[in-house]
Structure 1
Amino acid sequence: MRADAKKNYEHILAVASVVVTQHGADASMRDIARRAGVGLGTLYRHFPTREALLDTLLRAGFDELTAKACELETASSPDDALVSWLHDVVTFTGNYQGVVAAMIAAIEDTDSALHASCVTLRTAGARLLTRTQAAGLARSDMNGDDLFSLAAALAWLGDQPSSAPRAERLFRIIASAIITNRPSNLSLPADFQMNQNP
């Protein structure tokens, strides 16, 4: 990709990130093109579908979350690693209003542009959960699919105006239900703050 084309592509992505954050996963492609100062045809040349655009926006974040899971596997106690990673997943996905439904659908749809990224994210969480279970610190009757669904549910709740003020409390309840032999007021990362969309 030529330098000017790469700059244009990165500009479109930056604008798309803002628009999707503001208007959710169903943000208008026409609005994104207009705000980026490009023609709709140019936008579609880079991203033939809205799903392809979402995949590009989410993939970098998912890759970071997957890399973090790998680091946490050796750098933290199993239970702390799992709670920290779950917090980061919920916060990241909550930043893009409406993306949770697309993620859940993509897990089952192998033709979805989001499928590979979502499967990779789910697998990273499953490894952390399995490690925590092996240490006897997480309930044994759940798997990576359950963990992914709970993360999606918590992110969705953060999107709901009536639930957003209780998002941190709800996270603590779910995390305490996953982690065994820890008090219900388990410690969370110092920078913990659930996304609260207005």
Structure 2
Amino acid sequence: MSEGLRSDARRNYTRILAVAEEEVAAHGAGASLEQIARIAGVGSATVRRHFPTRRALLEAVSRKRIDALCARARELTGTGDGREALMAWLSEVVAYCVSARGLAAALSYDGTEADPVHENACSAALEEAAAPLLRHAVQDGAVAPDITVADLITLIVGIAMATEHHPTPAAHAARLFHLATTGLTPQSRTGTRAGA
């Protein structure tokens, strides 16, 4: 009997998550939990039992993308120029956040936890995976030593959320990210490469 209940719970979880992925892709982080429950053919209480908060749902929906970004960070670690490797990874995070609706919200800090740096599994996973990339860039002297991965994720989240409704969100987000990481002064005036 209990095995049957566990099987039902697994099936419900899988169905809810599949519907949630489609609804978040269509409607962003504000996708209706009630609509997800209706389409999945379960009650709202079942959705909330599996995903007690909206953040829990967004984290589950974003898990595959987060895993891919973590793997990419590990792949780039120790390759060539520290700043180039870090910037390549951060550019991919920007592109993911713009194309995968709900991901920026899953990475955002909402201030409900005592330790906002690790308030959710998505941001914590990215911070852990990207820490060696950032250390390499700092050791190369290309990034200021007081910069944290959490700072960079917060910057990307802000850019992704600010450009979500722009007619060309990917291009606009990439432009703003470039502006944020190179600064306002033309490189020809400074004669040096700007730091992140």
TM-score normalised over the length of structure 2:
0.73
* Separation of aligned partners in 1, 2:110 and 2:128: 14
Measured in 1, the distance between the counterparts of 2:68 and 2:111 equals 19
User: How far does the alpha carbon of each residue in 1:114-153 deviate from its partner, in whole angstroms, 9 at most, with x for none?
Assistant: 5233123234334312211211233445333321222212
Find the residue that maps to 1:25 and give its secondary structure: helix
| Distance of aligned partners of 1:138 and 1:102 in 2 relative to their CA distance in 1, 3 Å threshold | same
Asked if structure 2 preserves the Cα contact closer than 8 Å seen for 1:11 and 1:36, the reply is yes
**What is the percentage of aligned positions where both structures have the same residue?**
37
Q: Which residue of 1 aligns with 2:188?
A: none
Amino acid at match of 1:92: Y
Aligned-partner SS, 1:48: coil
Greater alpha carbon shift after TM alignment, 146-155 vs 37-46: 37-46
CA contact (8 A) 2:62 2:106 kept: no
Q: Which residue of 2 aligns with 1:51?
A: 55
Give the unaligned 5+ runs of structure 2: 184-190
* Counterpart residue identity of residue 176, structure 1: T
Q: 5 Å matches for 1:51-70?
A: 51-70=55-74
Whether the 8 Å contact between 2:19 and 2:39 is mirrored in structure 1 is yes
In angstroms, what is the RMSD of aligned CA positions?
3.3
Shift of 1:73: 0.6
The match for 2:36 is 32
Q: Secondary structure at the match of 2:147?
A: coil
Aligned pairs for 1:80-159 within 5 A = 80-97=84-101, 100-101=104-105, 103-106=107-110, 109-110=113-114, 115-140=120-145, 142-159=147-164
Displacement, 1:175?
Answer: 3.6
3-state SS of 1:161 partner:
coil
TM-score, normalized by length of structure 1?
0.72
Moved more, 31-40 or 91-100: 91-100
- Flag the structure with larger Rg: 2
Aligned length: 182
List per-residue Cα deviations over 1:10-49 (Å, max 9, x = no partner). Answer: 2321210111122222211110112223332332332223
